Structure 1
């Protein structure tokens, strides 16, 4: 697991947030519908597993052309795979956890007997150096419809330095699969999109600028959203 994921109780507290805005995560089995030409959860999971065993410098699923996406968004930056102390492409898998008792001191809904667990997930992270900035694309897939943004909340909080209220806004205002990407609240250095999967499941893309200070303004706000829109349109199995 990469260092910027938030494991254990911290992640579980964040994953409980969607319940407050009308969402719930439940246990689920993996859907293995990889037929046809569409990208499936099973395909994302098998690719993440392969990347763990055989490292690569090419972002999968047609997402390796960041330079072209930048140009089409009107941004001129030299691009190279990877960044300082960061691999170009990484894969991660999670088997999920069942629902668990609410922590003491919380006030859950009377209709929710337990806090939601973590569904199985597959995660691919691609990193580039674009000019002086680090650009990172997180691709996260789960085998349950419409819960991918909830599973990604710990990473969204870290990436966007979001408050609990802002996380709630992200969940309730999440884009639909195939909709135009949305910029996260705050400093404008991260945007999310969702991609339709073949069969059951949810696929979320998070494009963000690294920790450079100051951030590259050309990769902030609406320009960043346009780059993610370009990448979203290129994704394929």
Structure 2
């Protein structure tokens, strides 16, 4: 592995570190009316049921309706569940992990002697097609406040086409609870931090699922941010 590659991976690990997740700056990016109606336990129990239901389901839980969000955001188009792989809704859970040693010979940040611990987490993903354009909403909850964004940086990198510097920016300039903002990169992803009931952290990542393909500009940039804001405001 080259020195440049090691530095790149070190930056990615650092930006994904839970220890950095508690420092979240905000910008004027809109606000959500969320009431904190969802808890970590509610998201996890739903994710577990989705994992057990191998047949999947088409209706996104928690009241998430992309069609209504598009209308609220002033975006034309018809949203339908994307069942291309047999299911439009899926769930996943993780039990977390304690701090881990860095791989042998890996150059790591001196202030981070080990790979940071990861708290338990759960996610629910919903897929739609908007007049042919694939759109995915990923709701992610964790038991530790302020760390959900950093836990999903790999998802954000894929969705937004973000580079290392942009991932660092996302890690340090996160939306506060009740805010939605566009993720730096291609303009194909937006992120909202949703008020949560009880302890933990809850975020919603909305993106075009068009890896390697040209973005639908009607659903990118500020329009996508408005759609994410409207979608997150539906959570109940």
SS in structure 2 of the partner of residue 109 of structure 1: coil
Partner of 2:99: 99
Partner of 2:20: 23
SS in structure 2 of the partner of residue 234 of structure 1: coil
Superposed displacement of residue 135, structure 1: 0.6
Partner of 2:66: 66
Partner of 2:170: 170
State whether structure 2 residue 50 is matched by structure 1 residue 51.
Answer: yes
Q: Distance in 2 between matches of 1:133 and 1:182?
A: 21
Superposed displacement of residue 12, structure 1: 9.7
Per-residue CA deviations over 1:129-149 (Å, capped at 9, x if unaligned) read: 100200100011100000000
Residues 15 and 150, structure 1, Cα contact 8 Å, conserved in 2: no
Q: Distance in 1 between matches of 2:217 and 2:15?
A: 31
TM-score, with length taken from structure 2? 0.82
Q: Distance in 2 between matches of 1:155 and 1:39?
A: 22
Q: Distance in 1 between matches of 2:86 and 2:20?
A: 34
Relative contact order, higher structure (CA 8 A, sep 6+): 2
Instruction: Report 1:3-18 matches (<5 A).
Output: 14-18=12-16
Q: Distance in 1 between matches of 2:143 and 2:13?
A: 16
Superposed displacement of residue 109, structure 1: 2.9
TM-score, with length taken from structure 1? 0.82
Superposed displacement of residue 102, structure 1: 2.6
Instruction: Report 1:1-237 matches (<5 A).
Output: 14-19=12-17, 23=20, 38-54=37-53, 55-63=56-64, 65-85=65-85, 87-103=87-103, 104-110=105-111, 112-179=112-179, 181-211=180-210, 213-236=213-236
User: What is the number of equivalent residue pairs in this alignment?
Assistant: 212
What is the CA RMSD across the aligned residues, in angstroms?
2.4
Gap regions ≥5 residues in structure 2 = 1-8, 23-35
- Name segments (4+ residues, structure 1) moved above 2 Å: 11-19, 83-87, 102-105, 107-110
